[in-house]
Structure 1
């Protein structure tokens, strides 16, 4: 009997998420249906009743559902499945890195699972040197030596914990390391960053009024920039003539892939905004959305903005970003918004332009040419705008076919012409068709 109890105890000691993958079937418990906005990863003896609790209360006061630990764990819950569920459900992860953090296999296992969810991770470095984490030195190195000597956990898990700790040290976060640092201000800043991230994920993102053929187009695009599900390159270029649907496609891709990245930004109409002298505003927008940085002023120069972007990207080398830069017509715009050498290789940048040569000039190797919509999708899109339904109204079949043929598979033309004849009789349709064909010839 004693042997059985001892064996069970050893298994419990080794529990810290030896299986790090998110569970396929959520464990049924009183928390299994509860969703959290934020998970706070921390070592209890270091910060539980002080900094972690202060941050938890600050989030709670703003109506943000945060998971701290025992406050959300009810009697009868199994600790390991409960924590896994909380991490997987949280949209934002906060890691409080304290001096003795690495001594806790639970903290390290949580951190590894946090990285696997690919959600936004916000580090808070509390009286610990970044070099100790990034290089696994001093007390951090001692903690890992103890894990290895005790032999409670597989070497592959310990190695993964080391890598995750080094990765989190490379993410831009918040620091509380001196007597003059203000915990209240730091907690307030973190709450603001969390709120912004939650709002960004909740805002409904309309790709197009009528999403026709985008799933097929997205699959075709994937076949060009992925091999066996793996990215060929970090930066992908999409090119095509005006009205070919580049912006609609990139909106669809942005929305579809958003949850896979820790941060994202979408910069549309770059060509027009550059012509208006608003390139520095786009630089500020990129920094605000990727890093939660509050920049209310314009940079004094494009060069200053580029330097800030490069610095913050290098500071967050382990963060995976999704960046859309839409409708560029000058390499200067890409240089200002995209310091390529500072990007994490696992990030994804999608650039759209009318000019393929610009992509070549910028060194973008993976280039996708927009295709014409096929006849079926063209007819559906036109009918949605002409009749507010996907099929043709009886008696208009020949006119619809004529418009579809004239639009030559260009989504913008199908939308505009369909909208122009909406609610009109056949006589107006014929006049508009004649006028449209005449415009095409000029």
Structure 2
């Protein structure tokens, strides 16, 4: 198998599927929204029962979820929507370029949509030469002449398809003559490539160095915000004092739920980023994380809002998970939470110090963070002060003093524990006196 050279991606364009759908469609159908690792782009009559199916089975046998329309589209699914969801959720796209590939407007529209994402594209040249696509010649040229002559599709769409086909011919891929030995070898190599790509995915967020009391916190959250294992609404608010563990809980939920969604994003420190005039950067990150769009500069917040709504409307059938961490102003939620553009099964989690913000934003399901109980407070402090669960001999009274001063706030317990770690009792007593004096002043002058 020979490889071609590497080249760049195509330019952004409107939804290429729009020209394939009926103009006045009145379709209400269910959609089994799944997240796929791989999308297999192919012309069915050429390779569906041969290379495409063998490749699909090889990936499936390795525990890799791949989308092949004949195997994954379910009864009741609206076909274009199912394909779009698969394309935008997959991190690897495989384009099987066969002799009559360019005759299929569906294949070309899928390819154009693939180029609008950041997913890796692997071309497989099946009984064809890459140069046929690079220079639009031989059967490829004949196919495009027919597209242009029949006038069924707008000229700019046909040109976009042609550009994408030329671009894909320059991406490093495989040439296959169709012999059985080559077919088996190819499938093995592609599986190996996909496995490596999966390993590059985002690692889970670190929830906390010491996850003390986390199980109880999660259970309490679930009892308030979930019903029959599902969130009670598609937007959930978590509020409480600074340092009460809101971000810790949100990170845990993000790690444990993100696999259920087609795309997910965790936008940290929104309050601080707003002060630095970085909301447009967060908007760009949201688009990149959710639908794998190439990161691009957004001129202003209103442009960002429009771009987010337009792009999420295009992928309306996809479920997304969005975490807005430490918000303190409605402007931030307006810029980053496009509720009307989200699928009803998407989930937005907002953390904030101010419950009033959630009420103003119409967030009906709100969870109030509670103080850590004395037992968990003691344990968390000891982990940071002594790097073990229990108290060092002779420090019991001092530990109790710090636990009382910290008032059940996880961040305070972590900071104070780390601050006195490794110091002698005299230093502990000095720092405890300072902390107690500060606490008393706050009580007098809140």
Do structure 1's residue 90 and structure 2's residue 72 form an aligned pair? no
1:43–1:182 Cα change, 3 Å: closer
CA distance in 2, matches of 1:130, 1:340: 32
The superposition leaves residues 125-182 of structure 1 with CA deviations (integer Å, 9 ceiling, x where unpaired) of 9623999xxxxxxxxxxxxxxxxxxxxxxxxxxxxxxxxxxxxxxxxxxx98965242
Matched, 1:70 2:54: yes
C-alpha distance in 2 between matches for 1:288 and 1:376: 42
CA RMSD in angstroms, aligned pairs only: 3.7
Task: Please list every run of 5 or more consecutive structure 2 residues that lacks an aligned counterpart in the other structure.
Answer: 1-31, 96-103, 110-156, 174-189, 442-446
Partner of 1:328: 327
In 1, Cα distance between the equivalents of 2:166 and 2:211? 46
Q: Give runs of aligned pairs for residues 429-440 of structure 1, distance below 5 A.
A: 429-440=428-439
Deviation at 1:72, TM superposition (A): 7.7
Indicate conservation of the 8 Å contact 1:127/1:177, yes or no: no
Distance 2:286 2:347 in 1: 14
Aligned-residue offset at 1:255 = 1.0
Residue 342 (str. 1) matches residue 341 (str. 2): yes
Distance in 2 of aligned mates of 1:130 and 1:72: 20
User: What are the equivalent positions in structure 2 for 1:378-393 lying under 5 Å apart?
Assistant: 378-393=377-392
Contact (CA 8 Å) 2:234, 2:344: kept in 1 or not? yes
Tell me how far apart the structure 2 counterparts of residues 374 and 320 of structure 1 sit (CA, whole Å): 36
- For residues 40-86 of structure 1, the C-alpha deviation after alignment (integer angstroms, 9 at most, x for no partner) is 3766424559xx97xxxxxxxxxxxxxx542586xxxxxxxx77545
Q: When the two structures are superposed, what TM-score results if normalisation uses the length of structure 1?
A: 0.65
Query: How much has 1:199 moved relative to structure 2?
Result: 6.0
Please give the residue correspondences for 1:331-410 in structure 2 after superposition, counting only pairs within 5 Å.
331-410=330-409
1:253-264 correspondence to structure 2 within 5 Å: 253-264=253-264
Counterpart for residue 134 of structure 2: none
Query: CA contact under 8 A between 1:39 and 1:90: conserved in structure 2?
Result: no
The Cα shift of 1:290 comes to 0.5
Contact 1:128 1:177 in 2 (8 A): no
Unaligned runs of 5+ in 1: 1-19, 23-35, 54-67, 74-81, 96-100, 132-174
Structural mapping, 1:22-61, within 5 Å: 38=38, 40=40, 44-47=44-47
Deviations 1:71-121 (A, max 9, x none): 586xxxxxxxx77545xx226x445xxxxx6xx4x4535998xx8xx9973
Aligned length: 324
Relative to structure 1, is the Cα distance of residues 90 and 358 closer, same or farther in structure 2, using a 3 angstrom cutoff? same
Question: Which fold has the larger relative contact order, with Cα–Cα distance below 8 Å and residues 6 or more apart in sequence?
Answer: 2
Partner of 2:252: 252
> What is the CA-CA distance between 1:184 and the residue it aligns to?
5.6
Aligned to 1:291: 291
Paired with 2:289 and 2:46, the residues of 1 have a C-alpha distance of 32
CA distance in 1, matches of 2:197, 2:334: 26
Q: Provide the rounded CA distance (Å) in 1 between the counterparts of 2:296 and 2:436.
A: 48
Residue 180 of structure 1 is matched in structure 2 by 162
Q: Distance in 2 between matches of 1:189 and 1:412?
A: 49
SS of the residue corresponding to residue 128 of structure 1 reads: helix
Q: Contact 2:403–2:413 (CA<8 Å) still a contact in 1? A: yes
| Distance 1:219-1:295 versus aligned 2 partners, 3 A rule | same
Alignment partner of 2:89 out of 96, 121, 131: 121
How far off its partner does 1:196 sit? 12
> Could you say which residue in structure 2 is the equivalent of 1:307?
306
Q: For residues 200 and 358 of structure 1, do their structure 2 counterparts lie closer, same or farther at Cα, with a shift above 3 Å needed? A: farther
**Cα distance, 1:230–1:393 mapped onto 2, change above 3 Å:** same
2:273 and 2:73 map into 1 onto residues whose CA distance is 45
Q: Shift in Å at residue 231 of structure 1?
A: 2.2
- Measured after TM superposition, the shift of residue 433 of structure 1 is 0.6
Contact 1:41 1:107 in 2 (8 A): no
Q: Is the 8 A contact 2:41 2:107 kept in 1?
A: no
In the superposition, the TM-score normalised over structure 2's length comes to 0.64
